[in-house]
Structure 1
Amino acid sequence: MIEDRCRVPQSGWGIVVLLLLGLLAGCFDDPPAPDAGGSGTSGQNGQAADPPFRVTAELVSENNRGAGLMEQYEYSKAMAVFQKLVDDNPGWLDAKVNLAIAVLQHTQKGASAVPILEEVVAADPDHAEATYCLGISLFHAARIGQAEVQFQRAVKQDPRDPHSAYFLARCLEDDHSAEAIEWYQKALQLEPYFQSAHYRCWDLLRQEKKYEESGRHMEEFSLLRNHPLSVIFDYKYTLMGAKGLAIRAGLSPGEVQPVKRPEGPLFEPPAEIASAGSVRMPAGASLTTCDINGDGYQDLFLVAADGNHVLLGSDPTRGLDGFSMDKDHPLAAVPDVVAPLWGDFDNDGLVDVYLCRRGPNQLWRQSKAGEWSDVTAKAKAAGDDAETIDGVCLDLDHDADLDLLLIHRDKPAQLLNNNRDGTFEDISAKVGVDRSGAISASTVVADFDGDRDLDILLLGPPGKADEAKPVGNVLLWNDRSWRYHAEKTPGQLAGAPFTAAVAGDVDADGQVELYAVDSASLVRWTRKPDGKWDKMLLGFGATTGAIGEGTVRIALADVTGDGRVELLVGTSGWSAWVLPADLEKFDLLDLADSGEHDPLGTWTTVVIDHARGPAVVGATVDGPPMVWAAGSGRHRFFSIALSGKKKGRYRERSNASGLGNTVLVRAGGRTFRGDSLPADSGAGQSLQPVAMGSAGAERADFLKIIWSEGVTQARLNLAAGVRHVIEEEDKMPTSCPVLFAWDGTGYRFVSDLLAVGGMGYLVEPGTYAPSDPTENFLLPAGLARPVDGRFRLKLTEPMPELTYLDRVGLVAWDVPPGWQMVLDERLATALPDPTGRPITYRIAQDPERVTNERGEDVTSRVRSVDHRAAEVGRLDGRFLGRLAGEHVLVMEFSEPLDRGPGRPVLLADGWVEFPYSQTAFSAWQAKAAFEPPTLEARDANGNWVELAASFGYPGGMPRQMALPLPTDRLPQGTTALRLRTNLEIYWDRLTVIRSEDCPELARREMKLVVADLRESGFMVRQLKEQFRPHFDYTTRAAHPEIIDPEGFYTRFGAVEELVGTADDAVAIFGPGEEIHVEFEAPESGPPKGWTRRLVLETVGWCKDMDLYTGNGSTVGPLPETGRPVEPRDRLHRRFNTRYQRGW
């Protein structure tokens, strides 16, 4: 039995009632609670103490299950667990605190958690977690005075808690700024890496004109921006401080129990592979692994003295007898092979291979399972006529395909870009990989600066410099779009004579280290926040960094199952060493070695058994291959086989091979980090699952993948000991802000907004599309209904994107009988720009017949707005939003369009599938253009006359657009129009209206009475027919993997001052957030027979997090239109104070 310190309160049922009332009411539109009063709980402290509450082992287990659900971001499920515990055990105060934390995370309303926590504090005033959580809940509910009372108590209860000191300072800022600065500095004494506290100090000191002191805090703040140990506060689980985590009964908060490794060896003694007993492996031979035949087991490819050998693996329970020799495999007959590079080069789901050779290289494609063919000539992929000694195949430009970086003997390196049309192009000189003729002996590719793209380290051959062809190392930083720049301050890194090198994040801090053999010593290179490199010799026992004689090979792999990679080093044999987690330490610990045998000619790690992790496969010089199988003295492993090949809508955003991705696993209170980049200095590149140890955990609470193109994905509750095949989810990685309107019963999805205001959209390298921040949106007739005299709307961000909202207004247009109204709006891709003004009309000319380029009659499909659009034809499988051919719609009219009242206007309803910046870059490389719609008219001779070239389209989710026809170009007597485009546009309705002035049209602007920025969560997105997007406001999806762009956001709460007028002072909100607005409805409706139409007027911008979007990973730079900066900056200083760390 475990004794709990807490006493039994008498009002436990009050928690249930308050919680249920809060949840049933929905709560999202409740006004903030006033900064006075509170429900409290009376009569507790003066009563006699009840007997101590006894916590059984069963209760501990159930409570910890709830805490585990919190770590998986399953807040509603965690609430149910804690609520049941509280119902059954009303005296268990820790369970009530956990319930309050879950309620706060689920509802994102501090007021919902306050009554629960007030009851706990009333029962036990010394309950430190309850005091702290009550304080942050009151602060979140804007009850600052009451929050200060709790934090004054919290800093006394735990003087060592930096978050309590930080929040006491937050409470004191407005009225006692000097005291607030003291408490921020106290927080920094307790936690020097507290980035949020540095920023608050900077802001307050700057306001007091203490510029020198404030500057020091800004300097520290900037240095911590990318520091792995930096601390920020956010109202998100795991970011609310130690006391904001669910209490694990029987364990101290955050305590992790050590887990003993199983008894037994890490490796079994070496054993020969019987089926390869006649194979002889020379020194330095290539040995790689890949699932060549796609059966889920790792195969081996041996480059031996007598040619190539393909060993097919099978069920590991058969041991080494599971390997069988495929003597007739086509790849076995290819001569002069040096090393293979395994990957799916055409993204068809079947592995291919690039064979580095003595002479022209060869690319072999698997067109069907087991059918291999040499496609080198067709693909233009041979490379230089040289001896290619090594290389890598990775998505170096992050466009969802594998490129080739080749290392030639005594020649410069070569980079072949995958054009995604089946061919490759040599761009070595263009990007600087050829180093102006300098020789490169090997390469290491990794994200050395943590900016989500892959950098290239080219290593020169060791030896004396040749003036004509200088040796040395160069680090090329990836500026994207095939632009690199060389490291300006490489220091000793530039001249280090490396003979082998690998990169990896050994301490799982998000910063990649470089491990290299330098002058027979093992060295770790670490990049500091200021960009300089630290060099540290690593010691093998009592010897500092000494490496034996022979050809050196090093690799990083977890061979213990503890979740951290070890270093494998080999010359005449191999040995495995524990790397120190502390970067200040340098002693290595010997774990295992290859034992007594003749010198090895080659070796590598292979995941033969997915439950036990990597084995070592190698061969003695001129000897047969043998295996050091994974031993019994390991924890079980998570084997993660990744693939970017998706079967659904948003396919080919990452390469199908799953290379270049980062994997984070949370299990047993620990976080492990791995990736699918090469981590072996030997020749060739293997392809196998990411093997990550479980450290004794039976399951992974949470697994997060950061795909090579920047999209994140989460999986929950993965079992250890098995192979998990994970394909990139078919989800839209970004979206424009989504609009919901109250329809009388709930919030109804309308469409998205501000696509025209998209920032940083890449058209081609160096060119970004201009932004138009102004968009007016005509709400569907009758959709929005007032409640309590107000129209209520929500502008939300349910996907990873930013919105910068400058102004939002609602206008009522009263239209007289017999008239109708639309807006002059569209996403314009050519002049003239739309005006956004009303277009009124009385007559519509519907086409009598509409046909497409295939001769099909689609008239019924474009007759009315029914979400049954004209079919677009075959999609281009390579590029999202692009068709394989041109989509044409010909509209035939019964009456000439140049006759009749007013001006003819093309009116269209529909939706579009946007390509992303990454897609645009990829298509640009392949010379595949995106061609916006062009409108033509047929003249009397049957010829088509261009009316509007590349004019634009409905800019986003279902919406309406209008294009006034140029009457000066309209052929006389024309009765036909033709639309042409290769964009994926779904035309739902097409007609021509006759625009006329309506003098009686009346405009009435409504007063903005509420604009509230809130954290609302992620609405569930659905794809309807023809990929039509739809959102459900009533349901939420957990997306803990989504990361906010770094920078300062608008603090939660009222933002009327920011969005009431267009002044460049913007409200900034990001993923999972919304601005809720309410407008005062007119007291009376329109006159009898008239129609009232509502127009939402917006000024703002949006920006997605695509890897190729300009400044997509940061909030700044902020948009501006040239208005005065002083009023804008003043408002930004007041409101935009919420810092999010980002990537």
Structure 2
Amino acid sequence: MTRVTITRFSEALLVSALCLAAPSWADDRADFLALMNRGKAHLENRSSAEAIDAFKRAVGIDPRSAAAWRNLARAHLMSSHPRARASVLEALDRAGALEDDSAATNYLAGLTLLRMSRFDEAAERLRRAVQLDPDSATLRFQLANALQATNRHDEAVVQLRETIRLDPLHASARYKLAGHARQAGDRQAYQTHLREFMRLRKLLGPPASRDALERCVHLLPEAARSTGPVVPPPIAVRFTDVTDTLFADATDRTATAAAVIEVDEKGRCVFFVCDAEGAAGLLAMTRSGAIQRTRIDLKLPDSSPFMQCIVGNFHDDVPAGAVYDAALHAKNDLFLIGPDRAVLLKRRGPLDFADATESAGLGGLTGRRAGWIDSEHDGDLDLLIARASGLELWQNKGNGTFRNATGEVGLGKTGPTRDVAVADFDANVAIDLVAAGDDQSTRVFENLRTGRFAATTEPPGPWPAARRVLADDLDNNGYPDLVSIDDKTATIVYSRRARRQTLDLAGLDAVTALLIDFDNDGWLDLCVAGSERAAPETGSIRLWRNGGRAWEHVSETTRLTGTRIPPVRHAVAADIDGDGDSDLLLLTSDRRMRLLRNDGGHVNGQLKIRLVGLKTNPQGIGTHIELRHGADWITRSVSAIPIEVGLGGRTRLDTVQTVWTGGVVDNRFDVEVSKKTVLTITEKNVATGSCPFLYAWDGSAYRFVTDVLGNAPVGLPLARDRLLVADPDEFVIIGDGDGFRPLDGAYRLNVTSEFLEVLYLDYARLVAVDHAPLIELHPTDKLMAPPFPASELWALTDAIRPIRAVGDDGIDRTRELADIDGVFAPPGPLLPPPLRGMCHPMSITLDFGPVPADRPLVLALTGWLQYGQASTNIAVSQNPSLKIIPPMLEVGNARGEWRPVDVTVGMPAGKTKTILCDLEGRLPRDAMRLRLTTTFEIRWDRIGLFERVSSDRARIHELEVDRADLAWRGFSEIRSRAENHPTTPDYDRVSDRPPWRNVLEGWCTRYGDVRDLVTAIDGRFVICNAGDEVAMQFDATRLPPVPAGQVRTFFMYCFGWEKDGDHNVVEGHTVEPLPGRRDPDDRTAGGRSADWRLDYNTRWVSRDRFVPPRPESGDRLMK
């Protein structure tokens, strides 16, 4: 009998034995499932004795079920038997021996020990539970209890703060924090926490019971099994070494560094490669199917091999006057890092690269690993560098240079660092980072916004030690996870699952690792490469398939085991041959490349995504991508190109969603996909911040009037160390009576918050002014630095229009500036992204002929300002090459002599408004022309000289708010109605969801009657979050008839502030702290305390208000 025959005979015997045993096994399994379901029902009915009996029988059938042992522990925990607590711990010991990474096991043990007053032991078990499930407020609170019982009060405070961060409505944590603050003598913190506790008690009733404070998902009985994530079944995939076949010239294979630098419209990848001699080239597959290397006229310095080559567009050169075009100007650049040197290469053309290392300020740098990150979300890419001296962040100044900002951003004490990765771990649209240290420490740094990072609290750390770290979504639940690779293991740390998984790297000296969806099932798999420990001269590649619940070692089935190669230094995954699956390009220790072709992955299909950023970085680094089909999700975090996503056999996707780093969400619907679809997604120019909108009833509908309080921002930076001072009061012109009519005896004005911002409205009144038809009335308000002018209405007459208005670009703007007609003069040449709202310096010369300088002249300028954002301001402030010129005015005479006019011109605060410059006594007698210069993107509609006349000629009527109601409304469709016009909302076209996900979190005014809050400037205001509307009515019967021969113009006077949710607004992620220079008087006439915040601010708005529900699976936490 041959060996093959013996083997087949043995297999047949085994199959027969299994078939004979099958009925018994099936019966046991059925009994086990029935007992688990029965015990679960008894637990839910709080019948502990019956539950204990059922679960004891269940573990008797299957003693290797950790879930059954935990359920038995839960049943004992409910029991009042004297030995119940000891029985709990015994059952949990059995569960822990089966699963040592279960948050539920550790939480139940910690809770039991806490009840037994074994506080030190309880603290350790609860700390482990929090490490495994860092996002449970209940676990944090119970850990704080254990720490407090062991007199570790500072640590307890940390966990209580984490508790209210995770659950802002946790009244008991607030009460305990108040107590700690009182003991510490921190009166302000004590009052804040006590006020929040009182508010929550008023809303939610008495404090929660002990049982309620212990209750969480880990206390609930586990079902026998759950559906788990849906992963397509395995398909046959193997990797084939095609190096000798596809590289026609052996010299083309030499390389010590490589990276994909470009993905064209058809999805074809182009590599940048360089060799040990410093020769560089571009590598791509030809139409004939061969790999061709095109030499670049560039010689890199001789050095030891670079450790890494990363691709990112750090700066685009756009000629002055040219309109930015991503297809023309956006070119990916390269950064190479190694132990001897770093090199920054700027791409200037298809084969034109320049060494920009020295000019960029990066000369002399060395390092181990690096990564691109838009750390400040200001639209340009910064550099993270892992060095022996520590992690460094080099800030992009926006002019092609960098500066070391490590200490300023909170990363100054990281210690020697081996590797770094970036991802938005908490899904708050703020990129976080993780660093692997030499001292076996791995630290996650949370992005605090405003350009700063802080190490996350421990727990959830300490994190597994690592030589390499990778970050992306491994369980397709919308949150990035972490892969930590050390000498012996690869540990999968799930960000929203209460367990970790460990993969054995025994025998492998791991040098490089990457995430690759090799079988295109939509789930990222793990590839680790290096050399065999037993044979260091032999290369080794290991591959694990992600099965959702478990990882399967598939190196043998994919033919990677046994691949004869030198030790691997680096690996890149990309569809090199264009057949719709990701291949492996390896760089080996002999300084050559090996290509392993993916055969079979194409069966499931692959979607290639090309991102084109316009407001954020051009490459889309940091963007979050979600593919949805029915209940299935596939998500990716973009850190490099190419973006290749397996489709799992799907031919259509319900949506493809991108969440750009600026927070804007873009959806593509009903996307048809094939096995090799290429989808190019260009970022939309969507504003997430502006100002509140004002609408007026015109007799048939609500019409948009303008935006308000644009000159009263809260926390808006002009630079990192300087904020724009708010001017909170403003007059806004509504128009005449033809466009503003009463309805049911009341004039109606609605103020809405329709951006990622919060409105704090303290006061509003309606002002009606009767005046002669030839008199114009305009407010004195404008956007400017203090001291601010008094908020008044000026009467103007006798307009003098410019005879000629010409820009220094040669464009005649006379016609555009003659009248307020919606025909706007063009601004100067616009600056490229991310410098939204800025342009090259441009002057307009206004020739008025002889100017009557002895008259009370006022220059009235009507136009609109293209707002930037806080992030724009940061980008501008960091760029020393930019000229920043607020509108400035000069006066010229007939001799051509010019001198500055001593006046602050200012800017219109948003949509089309008129601003005034008082020129009385400021012009010389021989004045002929005025010259207006700025670098801001302002489109002027009319500029003219007027004479100011006494307001005594006008009669002013003021109406207080008769009724005011706050309610949810939604978000208007916003678009530009004509060329060069500002974007404006359509009140009748409303959506319940905005084009972003997050909002400012905090207590807002409850819906309903808010009149009492807007009838006096008293520091008590309506707090409107995104989507809210304040509808105000004013009694029209209180106005007298318009006098004969006069016209009536309406204005709204308001007092308030607005806060934008931009990443760089100070405390721009929360509603509080509330604005204003003083606290309101919280005393009633009788002296009784009456905190208006407790009465009105009782509506909690969560940060993730518009985040869609995440997919859940059996072992995911219920949030």
TM-score, normalised relative to structure 2: 0.70
Counterpart of 1:658? 620
Name the counterpart of 1:843. Answer: 798
Give SS of 2:799's match: strand
- The worse-fitting range, judged by mean Cα deviation, of 945-954 and 211-220 is 211-220
Q: What are the equivalent positions in structure 2 for 1:723-762 lying under 5 Å apart?
A: 723-762=678-717
**For 1:551, what is the secondary structure of its paired residue?**
strand
d(CA) in 1 for partners of 2:395 and 2:196? 51
Question: Could you tell me how far apart the structure 2 residues matched to 1:798 and 1:208 are?
Answer: 28
Tell me what 1:367 maps to. 348
Alignment counterpart, residue 516 of structure 2, candidates 551, 557, 575? 557
Residue matched to 2:877: 924
Tell me the distance in 1 between the aligned counterparts of 2:696 and 2:1007: 21
Query: 2:1100 maps to what in 1?
Result: 1139
- In structure 1, how many angstroms separate the alpha carbons of the residues matched to 2:1103 and 2:372? 29
Cα distance, 1:570 vs. partner?
2.9
* CA distance in 2: counterparts of 1:990 and 1:608, whole angstroms: 59
The residue number in structure 1 matching 2:891 is: 937
Equivalent-residue separation in structure 2 for 1:609 and 1:406 (angstroms): 32
Match of 2:466 in 1: 498
Asked if 2 retains the 8 angstrom alpha-carbon contact of 1:759 and 1:771, the reply is: yes
Distance 1:890 1:1097, change over 3 A: same
Is 1:569 matched up with 2:515? no
Figure out how many residues of one structure are paired with residues of the other and give that number.
873
Give the aligned residue type for 2:1001: E
Deviations along 1:478-537, whole A, 9 cap, x unmatched? 45555445567589748x6522221233234555443212342223456799xxxx9x77
CA RMSD of aligned residues (A): 4.2
Q: Per the alignment, in what secondary structure is the counterpart of residue 1113 of structure 1?
A: coil
- Measured in 1, the distance between the counterparts of 2:724 and 2:864 equals 20
- What is the SS of the residue equivalent to 2:467? strand
SS at match of 2:828: coil
2:1083 and 2:579 mapped to 1: Cα distance? 62
Shift of 1:705: 1.9
Cα pair 1:515 1:523 within 8 Å, conserved: yes
2:400 maps to what in 1? 422
Q: Paired residue for 2:553?
A: 590
Is 2:829–2:839's contact at 8 Å kept on the other side of the alignment? yes
Paired residue for 1:627, among 573, 596, 604? 596
C-alpha displacement of 1:814: 1.6
Mapped to 2, the partners of 1:886 and 1:555 lie a distance apart of 50
Contact between 2:757 and 2:1058, CA under 8 Å: does it hold in 1? yes
Structure 2 matches for 1:63-212, cutoff 5 A? Answer: 206=198
Q: Displacement of 1:731 after TM fit?
A: 2.1
- Asked if the contact 1:940–1:971 (Cα under 8 Å) also holds between the matched residues in 2, the reply is no
Structure 2 residue 297 is the aligned partner of structure 1 residue 343: no
Post-superposition shift, 1:844?
Answer: 3.1
Q: CA deviation at 1:676?
A: 0.5
Following superposition, the deviation at residue 416 of structure 1 comes to 3.6
Q: Indicate which of 852, 855, 868 corresponds to 2:823.
A: 868
Deviation at 1:1138, TM superposition (A): 3.0
**Is contact 2:409–2:452 with CA below 8 Å preserved after alignment?**
yes
Is residue 446 from structure 1 mapped to residue 423 from structure 2 by the alignment? yes
- Is 1:1060 the counterpart of 2:1060 in the alignment? no
Alignment of 1:449-464 (within 5 A): 450-461=427-438
- Closer, same or farther: CA 510–1079 of 1 in aligned 2, 3 Å: same
Contact kept in structure 1, 2:972 and 2:990, CA below 8 Å: yes
8 Å CA contact 2:274–2:280 kept in 1: the answer is yes
1:559 & 1:821 partners in 2: Cα distance?
69
Q: Distance between the aligned counterparts of 1:1110 and 1:1060, measured in 2?
A: 29
CA distance in 2, matches of 1:907, 1:1044: 38
Structure 1 Cα separation of the partners of residues 611 and 690 of structure 2: 25
Q: Is this contact kept in 1: 2:487–2:510, CA < 8 A?
A: no
Which residue in the other structure is 2:582 paired with? 614
Seen in structure 2, the aligned counterparts of structure 1 residues 643 and 851 have a Cα distance that, compared at 3 Å, is closer
Q: Which secondary structure state, in structure 2, belongs to the residue aligned with residue 877 of structure 1?
A: coil
Instruction: For residue 633 of structure 1, report the CA deviation from its aligned partner.
Output: 8.2
Distance in structure 1 (CA, Å) of the matches to 2:209 and 2:1023 = 24
**Which of the residues 331, 334, 337 maps onto 1:356?**
337
Relative to 1, partners in 2 of residues 1:199 and 1:1075: Cα closer, same or farther, differing over 3 Å?
A: farther
- Deviating more after overlay: 546-555 vs 775-784: 546-555
Task: Tell me the distance in 2 between the aligned counterparts of 1:478 and 1:307.
Answer: 37
Equivalent of residue 1049 in structure 2, options 1093, 1101, 1107: 1093
Match runs of 1:821-860 below 5 Å: 821-831=777-787, 833-854=788-809, 856-860=811-815
Are the equivalent residues in 2 in contact too, given 1:610–1:723 (CA < 8 A)?
no
Give the 5 Å matches for 1:240-639.
261=232, 264-272=235-243, 274-276=245-247, 279=250, 286-291=257-262, 296-302=267-273, 312-314=283-285, 322-330=289-297, 336=303, 338=306, 339-347=308-316, 348-356=329-337, 359-368=340-349, 370-376=350-356, 379-384=359-364, 386=366, 388-407=367-386, 414-428=392-406, 439-448=416-425, 450-461=427-438, 476-480=445-449, 483-485=452-454, 493=462, 498-509=466-477, 511-525=479-493, 538-540=501-503, 545-572=504-531, 573-578=540-545, 588-593=551-556, 594-599=560-565, 600-601=567-568, 602-608=570-576, 612-618=580-586, 622=590, 625-629=594-598, 631-632=600-601, 635-639=604-608
Whether the 8 Å CA contact 2:795–2:949 is kept in 1: the answer is: yes
Change (3 A) 1:332 1:634: farther
1:911, distance to aligned residue in structure 2 (A): 0.7
Shift of residue 842 of structure 1?
Answer: 4.2
Q: Given the superposition, is the C-alpha separation of residues 846 and 897 from structure 1 closer, same or farther in structure 2, using an over 3 Å criterion?
A: farther
Runs of at least 5 residues in structure 2 that lack an aligned partner in the other structure = 1-163, 175-194, 219-225, 317-328, 532-539, 1085-1089, 1105-1119
What is the rounded CA distance, in whole Å, between the counterparts of 2:809 and 2:274 in structure 1?
Answer: 53
Within 2, Cα distance between the matches of 1:214 and 1:562? Answer: 50
Could you tell me whether the CA contact under 8 Å between 1:610 and 1:637 is conserved in 2? no
1:107 paired residue number: none
Residue 986 (1) aligns with residue 934 (2) = no
Residue matched to 2:924: 971
Q: 1:770 aligns with which of 710, 725, 741?
A: 725
| Structure-2 separation of matches of 1:502 and 1:829 | 46
The alignment status of 1:909 with 2:880, answered yes or no, reads no
C-alpha distance in structure 2 between counterparts of 1:283 and 1:792, whole Å = 75
CA distance in structure 2 between the partners assigned to 1:1122 and 1:220 by the alignment: 39
Q: Secondary structure of the residue that 2:876 maps to in structure 1?
A: helix
Which has the higher mean CA deviation after the structures are superposed, 822-831 or 255-264?
A: 255-264
* Alignment deviations for residues 601-637 of structure 1 (CA, whole Å, 9 cap, x no partner): 2433224478854333336664751324152586434
Q: How does 1:659-738 map to 2 (within 5 A)?
A: 659-677=621-639, 687-689=641-643, 691-721=644-674, 722-738=677-693
What is the alpha-carbon distance in structure 2 between the residues aligned to residue 736 and residue 476 of structure 1?
Answer: 32
Aligned counterpart, 1:786: 742
Distance in 1, Cα, partners of 2:908 & 2:916? 9
- Counterpart Cα distance in 2 of 1:479 and 1:385: 27
Shift of 1:273: 5.5
The amino acid that maps onto 2:236 is P
For the 8 Å contact 1:522–1:537, the answer to whether it is kept is no
Deviations 1:163-217 (A, max 9, x none): xxxxxxxxxxxxxxxxxxxxxxxxxxxxx99969867999998479799996669
Deviations along 1:61-101, one digit per CA (max 9) or x if unpaired, are xxxxxxxxxxxxxxxxxxxxxxxxxxxxxxxxxxxxxxxxx
Distance in 2, Cα, partners of 1:788 & 1:295: 62
Over 3 Å counting, the alpha-carbon distance change for 1:808 and 1:199 in structure 2 is: farther
- Structure 1 residue 1071 corresponds to structure 2 residue 1049: no
Asked if the contact 1:714–1:1039 (Cα under 8 Å) also holds between the matched residues in 2, the reply is no
CA distance in 2, matches of 1:950, 1:267: 71
**What is the CA–CA distance in structure 2 between the aligned matches of 1:451 and 1:858, rounded to whole Å?**
45
**Match 1:883 to one of 817, 839, 842:** 839
In the alignment, residue 431 of structure 2 is paired with which amino acid? Answer: L
Superimposed CA distance per residue, residues 883-932 of structure 1 (whole angstroms, 9 cap, x where no aligned partner): 21233333424342223xxx322222111112211111111111224322
SS of structure 2 residue aligned to 1:918: helix
> Take 1:932 and 1:219, find their aligned partners in 2: how far apart are those partners?
62
What secondary structure does 1:924 align onto? Answer: helix
Cα deviation, residue 984, structure 1: 1.4
